[in-house]
Amino acid sequence: MKTNLIKFQWLFILMTGLFVVSCSKSDTVDDATADTYAEETVFRTQEAANLGRFGCYELVFPVTLGFSDGTTVDVDSYEALKAAVKDWRKNNGKVRTRPSLAFPYQLINENGEVITVETVEQQKELRIACAKDFFGTHGPNGHNDRPKLCFKPTFPFGVKLPDGTIITLNSKDDRKALNEAIREWRKNNPDSKVRPELVFPITVQMEDGTLVTVNSKEELKALKDSCK
């Protein structure tokens, strides 16, 4: 009887070990799979609102990326976004919801208007309003090798509200103050269609790292048109 009990205990230990190993394997993802997943996530992130070099709007970095497990991470480029998603995916085998940008976040259009995106519905409206159809005719395969952005503003830079108030952003920590100021202005001017605008001149960083000084809306539009 004692011998059978010992055998049962060893069998239980063995089965438990196999179960743990099996779970560990199912909860991890190989590097190639994680890379493909991260590449598609960057594509879907840009597609959601027609962002980047092939879209109508440039994302104002840094942005916060939210994961399905409730964790978040701040990223300051599309490359950093992909790296964060890849690292997370490698350690999360059972994933149903793709990471996405946390609201609110800001975009800049070719006219230098600063658009605060606060909902999925607004995100969809911006995508539809953009006449460019790159994301409708291309897929995520190979997106890692495509250029991602045209430009991104460098700190410090100013944003002028429609009432003339200027909010200066010296670092990412000033984004909260900008969001609150825009939200308060909209609350007091619900029928206005005027958007906040960049204060020129502004220095922007191109995808290759080059810094360019933009002196007007016209120069910004020309810069955006040159990124194709």
pLDDT averaged over consecutive 10-residue blocks of the chain (228 residues)? Answer: 47 42 58 96 97 96 95 96 97 90 96 96 96 93 94 96 95 91 92 95 96 98 93
Q: What's the domain range around 105?
A: 2-226
pLDDT of res. 15: 44
pLDDT score of 27: 65
The residue written with tokens 């509200």 in the block is: 161
DSSP tally for the chain: helices H, then strands E: 7, 12
* Residue 11 confidence (pLDDT): 42
Other beta carbons within 10 Å of 221: 15
pLDDT of res. 24: 42
Q: How many domains does the chain have?
A: 1
Q: Would you call 116 helix, strand, or coil by DSSP?
A: strand
- Residue 94's pLDDT is 82
Closest CA to 63 of 97, 104, 122: 104
